[in-house]
Amino acid sequence: MKLGMLTACLPQLSLDEIAAWAAETGYEALEVAVWPATGSRDFEAAHLSVADFGPAQADHTRALLDRHGLAISALAYYENNLHPSPVRRTEIHTHLKHAIDAAAVLGIPYVGTFIGRNPDLTVRENLREAEKIFPALVSYAGERGVGIVIENCVMEGWHPDGYPGNLAYSPELWEWMFSLGLLLNWDPSHLTWIGIDPVKTIVPYAKHIAHAQAKDIQILDGAIQRHGFFGKAIDRTDPWDVGWWRYRVPGRGQVNWSAVIDSLYEHGFAGTLSVEHEDPVWGGDETRVKQGLAIAHQTLRPLVIG
């Protein structure tokens, strides 16, 4: 198992700068954000320009990794592949293919994305729509030696009422997406707040966990009593502010990382555990983000043997 980090939390830095800092801090792998330079999300990073990725960029990237002794565990393009706008959906699928092409050139095993959701349709209708879309994307990736991993993030901020905006958040939906040839980028933080014990999901789905993310979560004492499970309904000016929990870096929340990593080892996971930093306490500027990533490294390094 390797200990890595997702680069998206440092959008203002270049991949060269991130690689130098990550290696010095002790990380072994990078999950590299590859959103377009302009896109639809309010939090995105473009650390490889996959839309025009050519031989010079490939050579530079390989030399950068060799210089710092790093690997790239996956390319990250987490977007809504079921976007209700046909034009936007086509743009997303095109960029996802660009990411797959770049991964193939560099020998990167995975590209990460979301199933997504059309909020105008029911869950069942969305699943039927996804069944028309994803087999071709899986085939496109497979022909190039790349797997598509889906993060189990709820993406509640994508739905106008805060309901799941990414239909890959529970084991029931994992089983459905595995039937399409998709793999899992497993993240315990999302499971925790929707009432699922993350450790108990490792054993039955271990063979499908191709990549894993390390993000912690803090349940705010008593806050659910006001808002309920679905979170703020009237005062949610920020679509991501549920009001009764928040993401934290590993070591500052309630995920039992010793149990998580022990179970991953026991059941054969030999991929990358990639820190995803979305902690508001250790955010806001480059210095604090790096401090948060250092805290995560200090928490996880003694547990990830390598």
Q: What is the pLDDT of residues 157-188, one digit of tens each?
A: 999 999 999 999 999 999 999 999 999 999 99
Mean pLDDT of the chain: 96
Q: 65-84 as b/e, with b when 16 or more CB fall inside 10 Å?
A: beebebebbbbbbbbbbbbe
pLDDT band at 235 (very low <50, low <70, confident <90, very high): confident
| Mean pLDDT in residue range 95-120 | 98
Query: What are the pLDDT digits (tens) for 267-304?
Result: 999 999 999 999 999 999 999 999 999 999 999 999 99
The rounded distance, in Å, linking the Cα atoms of 265 and 163 is 33
In the chain, what are the domain boundaries? 2-300
pLDDT band at 264 (very low <50, low <70, confident <90, very high): very high
- Containing H/E element for 302? none
Please name every residue paired with 275 in a beta bridge, in sequence order, or none if there are none.
5, 214
**Which SS3 state, helix, strand or coil, does residue 108 take?**
coil
| Mean pLDDT in residue range 9-33 | 98
Say what the pLDDT of residue 37 is. Answer: 82
Q: What is the CATH superfamily name and number for domain 2-300?
A: Divalent-metal-dependent TIM barrel enzymes (3.20.20.150)
Question: Percentage of the chain surpassing pLDDT 70?
Answer: 98
Residue 294 phi, psi (nearest 5): -65, -40
Q: Is the pLDDT of residue 42 over 50?
A: no
Q: Residue 109 half-sphere exposure, CB side, CA atoms within 13 Å?
A: 12
Say what the pLDDT of residue 306 is. Answer: 67
